Amino acid sequence: MHIEHKAGDKMYIDYAGATLDIADTATGEVHCAEVFVAILGASQLIYVEAVASQGKEDFIYACRHALEYYGGAPEAIVPDNLRAAVTKSSKFEPVINSSFQDFASHYGMTVLPARAYRPRDKALVEGAVKIVYRRIFAPLRDHVFTSLTELNVAIYRELEALNASAFKDRTYSRRQLFEEIEQGALAPLPKIRYELRNELRATVMRNGHVPLSADKHYYSVPHIHIGHKVKLLYTRATVDIYHHHECIASHARSTRPYGYSTDADHLASTHRFMTEWSTERFLAWAGGIGPDVHDYLKRIFELAPHPEQAYRGCMGILGFARKIGSDRLNMACQRASDYGSFGYGAIRNIIERGLDLAGADESAPGSIPDHDNIRGGAHYDDQHPDDQNPDNTINPEEQP
């Protein structure tokens, strides 16, 4: 049965069942990219984009990109019963995902999920998927893509050719029909683009940073908020941190694992040098104290899954030089190396027990003292100085 579609009425969306490959040149792994497909009802203008997943964030941003491609918003958006769009499917009252509903409301659209077992509801987008297989998948099948961006550039090239080609047995194209009957029927897009905002609650650490667990990245806040519970609202591009409904910090979002995004104005003077931390700086500082300290810290960095995980522990170890002197710290590092135990907790325990002053035969290598703070290499950063011994904090101006 042929259905007449009103111009500007509906945009139908779905994912292609097949995926496209992206090769990681560094590891040789091949990742599957999902392919999002949208089509307008009246003109049948198609939009296609490869995304990393069918998750909520990728789905909503693909929908936004489709609206931007069309240059306007229809009255309704018709998804299949995807989890990112529909929390609970129902013949009579489907429950729309709250984030997707917010997105649709931002653009003045109604969400009308396709009914289960009603093929006519999604026939148009399923037909579009078949066209995409033939006109986009097929030309790209022999190409090797190394990023989503590279893949989408190729998809866009084929998509433009598809939309510019004439319908079968017609003299006009999807693009021409869109410009003639549907472009003017779409509602203008709002000036502010929709951004999906996620929420997370966390406690400010003693180093003045808040962890964003999704990325394993840390963001600074003013040091007066150390120990406070805060709320993070983050999008793909930004991270805003709130305390009692007041925005206390804003950062560009970074997905670098174990990295720090630090505004120097947020930190107390004794902590501002954190922005300059690096493995090379720590090793140069350690070398100025002595060769045993240098070799010990070097081994800690070798054991660390990521260097920045070891920074705070190394800062605490170096801080002992001011408290007990360079000679004792070198002996403590030598003794800990003999034990095969690497970390701030190991050095602190040796110093507290005076084992750095004991004769070599009084505690044989390999017989680690019975103390919870002595760990193996896997726990190199088990005790952090700013959590356990704040007096070891070092003024950066006192460093060599």
Instruction: Provide the pairing of β-strand 20-23 with 30-40.
Output: antiparallel
State the Cα–Cα distance between residues 196 and 61, nearest whole angstrom.
8
Q: E strands, the chain, where?
A: 10-15, 20-23, 30-40, 46-51, 76-79, 86-88, 95-96, 110-111, 198-203, 209-212, 217-220, 229-234, 238-243, 246-252, 260-261
What topology does CATH give the domain 10-185?
Answer: Nucleotidyltransferase; domain 5 (3.30.420)
Rounded Cα distance, 359 and 81, in Å: 72
b/e 229-251 (16+ beta carbons within 10 angstroms → b): ebbbbbeeeebbbbbeeeebbeb
In contact, 161 and 49? CB cutoff 8 Å? no
Location of structure tokens 């000679």: 327
What tens-digit pLDDT sequence spans the chain (400 residues)?
Answer: 345 789 999 999 999 999 999 998 877 889 999 999 999 999 999 999 999 999 888 999 999 999 999 999 999 999 987 877 777 766 667 778 888 898 999 999 999 887 654 556 578 999 999 999 999 999 998 899 999 999 999 999 999 999 999 998 888 999 999 999 999 999 999 999 998 888 899 999 988 899 999 888 999 999 899 999 999 999 988 999 999 989 999 999 998 888 889 888 887 654 555 556 789 999 999 999 999 999 999 999 999 877 777 888 999 999 999 999 999 999 999 999 999 999 999 999 999 999 988 754 444 444 444 433 333 333 333 434 444 333 333 333 334 3
Q: Please list the residue range(s) of the chain that carry CATH number 3.30.420.10.
A: 10-185
Residue 122 contacts residue 78 (beta carbons within 8 Å): yes
Residue whose tokens read 């009084």: 362
Note whether 348 and 389 are within 8 A (CB).
yes
In angstroms, rounded to a whole number, what is the distance separating the alpha carbons of residues 202 and 275?
22
